[in-house]
Structure formats: structure tokens, C-alpha cells
Chain A
Amino acid sequence: MGDFTTEELLAIFAMQGFAGLSLFSVLLLMALGLAIIYGQMRVINMAHGEFMVIGAYTTYFISTLVVSQAPWFLDYYVFIAVPAAFLMAFIVGWIVEAVLIRHLYHRPLDTLLATWGLALIMQQAFRSIFGAREVSVRLPSWLQGSYQPTLMIDIPINGIAIMVLTLFVTAGVAWMMYRSRWGLRVRCTVSNREMSGAVGINTRSVDRLTFAVGCGIAGIAGAAFTTISSTGPTSGALYIVDTFLVVVFGGAGSLLGTMASAFSIAQGQSILEFFISGSMAKVLTLLVVIGILMLRPEGLFASKVRR
């Protein structure tokens, strides 16, 4: 690296730091919905990736509609697409809970199988509706390109956008969990379901809302990913492993744990990827995570919950 000036090296380090932060916000956004569902309800939702894909296809649908019907709206449609993605995934999640999940509480292995089956059904539904080919959305012009604080530093704008979105969603989830009535009821139900029922909390409706909100957040994540990647019927399968990794590593039931886990995995992977080739970096990251989980089976931040 002898022929690089200090300035150039600094610029690359700055961009590398941003790459890590960007991956962090992606992982966190993916994991938030699952952290709520798995963490609070102990439901292993294998179809979580497909709920992200619902959000992605909703965004794709809106962007296509805008391109053909109202091109002048192209710069702003994302502000509609994100809430719409949430709503679509929320509604589907609500239905799924009512039809499938609620019959399977306390049977974690059965929910795992059932939601996996659900994932396959949803994949085929996407394929039948949108076709087997991957699609990508037309990005508004302000989301493309890069922000250049100096001549040598290029910060991708879509990365910044996802970061801001993640910040809002995380703050929203934290507020709902720890400041709202619903959050109080959820935490109550998690601590002691019978007792919560006895004091008049409708645990059924709490469960349903929790599941639907988790799915809705997955939808938001899906909408955000359309800015960095394409969407296909099986895209969800790509996200699910990383998502579970973050949630399990962080320790179920802890928002702080999920954040810490997403941050350490993202930084670790991004730094490793910079020094060694991509697939080896992934292997090393997984090895470290497995090692830590062997020492701390409950994850980074174990939740202290009476069961």
C-alpha cells in the first residue's frame, strides 16, 4: 500500500466505517420484527423472510404504478410505499396469527414446521402473482448516487436512507415496548400469562397484535431492501439466516441485545470482508458467533423472564 497518500487511506477507512454502519442498520431492521415475535412470543417464525418479501413486492407494485400512472410522483412515492408495506405485512400477519399460529402456542417445534410450510406457500404465491424473474424498483433520483463530503469520500445515499429509517423504526419499537399501554401488556403477558389474564388483559388480542406488528416491521425492512437489492419469490430465504443469527446471538426478548448483536456482527463481518475474501469472512463471523453462543447459550443479553 506504499503508493497511497494518508488522505486516500483515511478516505477508504471512512467509507469502510460507513459500510459497517450501513450493514448494521440493515441487519437491525431485518431482526427487529423477528425479535418482537420470537423474543416476546417464543414463536419461531420461519416465514419472516417472506413477510419482508411482501413489503418488497408492495413497494415494487407501488413504484410500477407510479411510473406508469403518475411519473411526477416518482420522487416521493417511497413515503407512501413504506407505510403501505407495513400495512400489507401487518394485515397478512394478523390473518396468519388468527388462522395458524394461535393454534400452535406452546408447541414451538410445530410452529417451526408450520411457518416453514407457510413460507413455501407464500413463495409459490409470489411466483404465481409476480413471476419467477427477479424484479427491481425504479428508485427516485434523490436516492441514487452518493454524498461526497470530500473529493475522495463517497457515501451511498441509499445507505444513509436505510440508516435513518432504521433509527425511526427502532425508536418507534422502543417507545411502543416500553412507553405504550400495548408494550406494557406485552411485557406483562411475557412475564406471566395466567396472571395477566387474571388482571384483565386480553392475552389473545395482545398476541395477535404483537405478531402482526412484528410482521409489519418485516414489511418495512422489505421495502427498504428494494433500494439495495432485487426482489424475487425466494428472496426471503436469503434474509432469514442472518435474521435468526442476529436475534439468537443477541438474546431473545431483549431489544438492546438485538441492537448489540446486529452491531457486532455487522462490524465484524464488514471489517473481515475488507481484509479477507467475502465467503471466508462469513465463515469466520459464523465461527465466532457459534463460539460465543457455546459460552453464553442465552445470547449476549439474556432476558430475565420467569417461565
Chain B
Amino acid sequence: MTQGVRRFLAGRGMALALSVGVLAGSAGAYANQDYPTDQVNTTGLAVTDDTVTVGILQSLTGTMAISEMGAVEAFRLAIAQINEEGGVLGRQIEYVLEDGASDWPTFADRARKLLRQDNVATIFGGYTSASRQAMLPVIERENGLLFYPTFYEGMEQSPNVVYTGQEATQQTIAALNWLAEEKGAETFYLIGSDYVWPRTTNNIARTHIEEVLGGEVVGEDYYALGHTSFGSAVNRVRLRRPDAIVSTVVGGSNVAFFRQLNASGLNGSNTLLLSLATSEDEVLGIGGENVEGFYSAYKYFMSLENENNEAFVAAFKEMHGSDSVIGDNTQAAYLGPWIWKAAVERAGSFDVDAVNDNLAGIELHNAPEGYVRVHENRHLWTRARIGKWNADGQATVVWESDDLIEPDPFPEGY
């Protein structure tokens, strides 16, 4: 597998170039005598003269494994590529893979194990907001570092977490503005799975629709995770006749929801539906023909046309199989190791405090989604995009924000 990546990198003669800002020179030029172990690691992390150990913590088993596998694959790809380039401060990255098992206390427990027992320099992982919130006290108490890769509802800013996904203003609000401005939607129907992310997201959405857009929320429904009978739900939507449906239905329910919408005659040609939780990963299960003509709001789609993304998709397929799909979360996960590498090299140290001091302003010029930059609030400046789904399971980007959107985890008035 490593060989595959190596062949790819050699063939293209390129690797992700990073702008580190302070330190000049290519990564391969770092020699360990320039960065003696006792200077780059003063806090007892797992750093040797040749290696540095990091942790990957995702659900490898349980209901969330479906959604979290992509992130593991992305971390592994990024780490393999960084090692190929010469590693971080001349050290090859080794990783410890832990299973959060779709269970939030297990996430906290495994995070504690990674920090105390394995002394990892950083953790990459977490998917649901619940898993992140479970790890948070552990990470903060142990003064660890976490790169969290999922789009989420905002309202959080930990000094020990870097959020490489988008928060609500970069996804939900941008999408609602698009629905109102480009599609002229005035009435909205919010439908979601029943847990923290959809409910918080829809709170923000409702406030934005009612107070900023001057529109009306004509319905707001939640269904248990794994719910599969959406017949009545579809009829409820029909009765209210909303201009737009905004879906935060997740996981396996997604499939049932879209199939039943289609079977009831509500499809992409006669219904305006935008989902905040349907990426290429989910469409694989739903079937492209069932989402054709519907929209999703993300910062990344696999079909993005730029050099970085073409190289990324090719490398990903080389490593994980030609039928792999890459969703928004997978791409955001891929950014984590690269941002960490850049911050460590700018700091000249693996110490968490030193890395933290050097995070703000880190730029990735060659991220698959395009240029991104780390904000002082530890979220990324990023673009918002709307994709329209095709029958082949890929989306065509129909809109993207003119500029990078400033991350604002605590938007005023929400």
C-alpha cells in the first residue's frame, strides 16, 4: 500500500507543498541534529530520533463505523504521504489506531489511553459531536491536542482542539442564504434525525430563517436514529407545501428517507431539497438515482475540478481501491495531519503548547478543497459550496462562495 503511494508520488514528481511561513526549506532537509530530541520534546511525548507517534481514534465498529471509515483512510493517506516527504522534523510518523466503537464513553477512555499510555503527540479523530464532547474533558485535562475532522454545529472553541471541518455559519447559514437568494425559497421544512447535531443546527437554521431571511419555518420534525418508515413524514411535508426542505437526516435513515420521497413522487425535478448530511459516502448507500436533482451543502465534493483534488483523488484510489468514494468529512480529515505538520515545523517542536502557539495563520495551498487557513479561533477559513446530485452518485458544484468564509463558532444572535 505504501508502495502504491510511493509510486504515485514518484510518478507525479510532486507532493503537497506547504507554506510554513517562518521556516524555509524543504521538509526532507531537516536533519535530526538540527532538532535534537530533547529540544523538540520537553513534555515526554512519544518522540524518538527517527519517529513520532500520533493517535487515530475513530469508530471502527458499531453503527458509526460506516461514516468514520473514510476519515481513517484519509489520515493514513496523509501520514503515508508526509512520511514519503521525509516526515515531520526529520521523524517518520507512526500511528496507534484506537476504536471508539460508536460509544461516547469509549472515546473518552481511548483518548485517555492514547495520551497517558502511548504519549501520542496529537490525536486525529472523532466524528459525532457527542464523541467530541466526551473526549474534550480528557484532552483538556491532559493538555493533549485533537484534530477533529467533522462539520459540526459550532458553539465550541477548545484550546486543545483544531476543527478542520466547517461550523454552522460556513455550511448551514450559507446554504439557507443560497436557498433564499438563488431559489427564492420563503417557506422551509426542517427534518432531521433525533440527536444533538440536527437539533442544534435546526435551532440556528430557524433563527436565521425567521430573523434574517424573513421566511417561515412551516415544519420541524425529528425521527429516531435508524428510523426507516418515512411514509407519514412525507405526507406531512406534502401537506405543508414548503418551498424548500432542509434535511439533517443521517446514517441508514438517509436511504429510507430518500427512497420513500422518490417513491411518493417527490423527486429532484419537482421538489427543492437540500441536505446537510448527505455526502458521496451516503449516496453510495442511497443510490444516485434516488438523490438525482437534490442538493447538498458542503465545502468539498469529490468532483471538484482543481489540480490538488485530482492528485488527492488519484492517490486515495491508489491506496484504498479504485471504487473508493470521498466525502466532505474524509477530505477534512486529510487536512489534519498536514496542518499539524506545518504547525510543528513552524514551532520547531512537538510540544503541544508550542504547536498551539503556531497554529493560527497556518496555510495549506494545496488542500483538495483549495486554499485554507487556520483562524485564531482554531477553525478553518473555508469556502461553502452547493452540489447538485447526479444519477452516477457524484455531485456537480452549482454554487460556491466568492471568498473564504471566516469561521465564526459563536455567531451573534443564535
Contact = CB atoms under 8 A, between A and B. Distances in A.
B21 interface: no
Could you say which of A1, A227, A273 has the most chain B C-beta atoms within 10 Å of its C-beta?
A273
Contacts of A146: 263-265
A197 interface: no
A229 B259 CA distance: 8
A134 B254 CA distance: 11
A133 interface: yes
A228 B259 contact: yes
A200 B346 CA distance: 85
Interface in B130-155: none
Contacts, number: 131
Interface stretch (A18-26, A85-93, A210-218, A254-262): A18-26
B232 interface: yes
A148 B262 CA distance: 13
Could you say which of B65, B223, B229, B254 has the most chain A C-beta atoms within 10 Å of its C-beta?
B229
A159 B63 CA distance: 26
Nearest to B282: A134
A156 B285 contact: no
A159 B232 CA distance: 13
Chain A interface size band reads 35 or more
B235 A127 contact: no
Given A228-B260, A278-B222, A134 B231 contact: no
A23 B222 CA distance: 18
A12 B238 contact: yes
B186 interface: no
Interface in A130-179: 132-136, 138-139, 144-146, 148, 154, 156-159
Given A15-B264, A145-B262, 11 more contacts: A19-B234, A20-B231, A22-B231, A127-B65, A135-B285, A144-B289, A146-B263, A156-B260, A225-B228, A230-B254, A281-B232
Nearest to A277: B221
A219 interface: no
Interface in A15-65: 15-16, 18-20, 22-23, 26
A230 B285 contact: yes
A232 B287 CA distance: 15
A303 interface: no
A19 B17 CA distance: 55
A230 B255 contact: yes
Could you say which of B224, B254, B255, B284 has the most chain A C-beta atoms within 10 Å of its C-beta?
B255
Nearest to A123: B61
Contacts of B62: 234
Interface of B: 60-63, 65-66, 69, 194, 220-224, 226-229, 231-236, 238-239, 251-252, 254-256, 259-260, 262-265, 281, 284-287, 289
B231 A18 contact: yes
B194 A19 contact: no
Contact of A278 (B221, B256, B259): B221
10 contacts: A20-B232, A132-B69, A133-B65, A135-B284, A136-B287, A144-B289, A159-B231, A228-B228, A273-B233, A273-B236
B264 A156 contact: yes
A223 B36 CA distance: 61
B235 A138 contact: no
A282 B224 contact: yes
B252 A229 contact: yes
B177 to A, nearest CB: 26
B376 to A, nearest CB: 37
A286 to B, nearest CB: 11
Given A133-B281, A154-B264, A159-B263, A274 B235 contact: yes
Nearest to A143: B263
A295 interface: no
A199 interface: no
B285 A134 contact: yes
A5 interface: no
Interface in A197-246: 225, 227-230, 232-235, 237-238
Given A26-B229, A146-B264, A146-B265, A132 B222 contact: no
Contact of A274 (B194, B224, B232, B265): B232
B228 A229 contact: yes
A230 B286 contact: yes
Contacts of A158: 259, 263
B191 to A, nearest CB: 9
Contact of A156 (B227, B232, B233, B263): B263
Contacts of B239: 1, 4, 12
A134 B252 contact: yes
A2 to B, nearest CB: 12
B232 A16 contact: yes
Contacts of B284: 133, 135
Contacts of A26: 229
Contacts of B231: 15-16, 18-20, 22-23, 156, 159, 270
B404 to A, nearest CB: 32
Closest 10 CB pairs of A and B: A19-B231, A156-B263, A154-B265, A278-B223, A273-B232, A230-B255, A132-B65, A238-B226, A229-B256, A134-B285
Nearest to A146: B265
A274 B238 CA distance: 11
Contacts of A22: 229, 231
A132 B66 contact: yes
